Amino acid sequence: MQSVYADTLHWRCEASSGPHSGSGNHCSKPVPSATAAHVACEPGFVLSDMASMVAREAIRRCAGRDANTPDHVVVCATSLEHDLALSCACRLYSELGVAGVPFAIGQLQGVSFFLALHVVSDMMANDHGIGSALIVGAERWLPPFSRLAGSITVLGDGAAAVVIGRHAEPGWLVLAVSVRTRGVPCARSDIFVDETVIIEVIGQTCTQAALSPAGIDWIVPPRIDAQLARRITAHVGLSAAQMWYPEEETGYLCAADAPAQLDALLQEIVPSGGQRILLWSVGLQGQAACAILEYRGN
C-alpha cells in the first residue's frame, strides 16, 4: 500500500499539518464564477461512514416491500477513503450481512451510478434468484486533492443510495440505461465534458425506451453547471420547464450526484402512473450516461 500510494500519503501528511489543514474547501485557486460559490463539505464522517448511513436509510424506507438485506450491493466512489487500506464495499457487505461478493465502480464520476444501474439490471434479468440490490454513491474530498475540477465545476461531499427491487410496485421502473465510456485513451489530458456524446447518449436512451422527448415529464441533469444543463436540454428537444435543477448550491457530488438529485426531485413531486424521469450525467474525461424511469402505481 505504501508503494502504491506513497505520494498520496506524503501529500496527505503535509496537508494535515499545514496552516490550512482545517479548511473545508482546501482550494488553492479562486472558485470559477460558473461553478457553485458554496459546496457541501462533510467535516467529520469518512466516506464509508456516509455510505453506511445512507445505505441503512434506503433499506429502512423499503421495509415491508423488499427484503431487509439486499442480495447485492454496488458501491460507487471516485474519492478515496481516508484510511487507504479500508474498502467501503467490504465494510457495507459486512455490516449489512450481504451474502454476495463485494464490488465497487469508480473513476467515472457521475457515470458510475448509471453503470451500476446497468450492471444490476443485467444481473436481475439473468438471475431470478436476485430479489433486490442496493446501489450506494459516496464522495468525500480530503487534502491533498483539490475540489476544483478544472474550470468546469467544484466537487462536493455527499452520499446517496437506492434500492432496486424486482417487480416492486408502486415504484419507478427502469425503462432504459445507456453508458458511454472511451474505448481508447484520450489524447486530451485535461478535464472536459463532451456535449456531443451527451446528446448522442440521451437520444440513444430515448430510442431504446421507444420514447420521444415529448414523452418525458422531468429531466434531471448533473449539478455541474446550470448553463450546460440548459444547453443539453434544448439540444435534445426538451423544455427548460421540465428540467429539475434546485437553486441551493452543493457542488458536483460525482458518484452520489444522480441518486441525490433523484431523491431531491421525488421529495417535491407526487407522480402518477406512466410519468417518466430522464436522468443524465457525465464523467470529467468525456464519459456520458442516461437512464429513463417510469412510474408504476398500484
Q: What is the DSSP letter of 155?
A: B
Contact in structure between 222 and 280 (CB atoms under 8 Å):
yes
Which amino acid is present at 270?
V
Helices (H) and strands (E) in the chain, counts: 7, 10
Which residues are CB-neighbours of 7 under 8 A, at least 6 positions away? Answer: none
- Position 168 scores a pLDDT of 67
Q: How far is it, in rounded angstroms, from Cα 263 to Cα 163?
A: 12
- Position 39 scores a pLDDT of 84
Q: What is the DSSP letter of 214?
A: G
Q: What is the mean pLDDT of each run of 10 residues along the chain (298 residues)?
A: 66 57 44 59 93 95 72 94 87 91 90 96 91 95 84 92 85 95 65 92 96 92 91 91 84 95 94 95 94 90
Return the SS3 of 213.
Answer: helix
Alpha helix segments (H runs only) across the chain: 6-17, 47-61, 88-96, 111-126, 195-208, 226-235, 257-266
Q: For Cα atoms 116, 158, 1, give the angle at the middle one, nearest 5 degrees.
A: 70
Which amino acid is present at 118?
H
Cell 426531485 found at? 265
- Position 16 scores a pLDDT of 59
Cα→Cα distances 161→56, 57, 92, Å: 9, 8, 12
Contact in structure between 16 and 143 (CB atoms under 8 Å):
yes
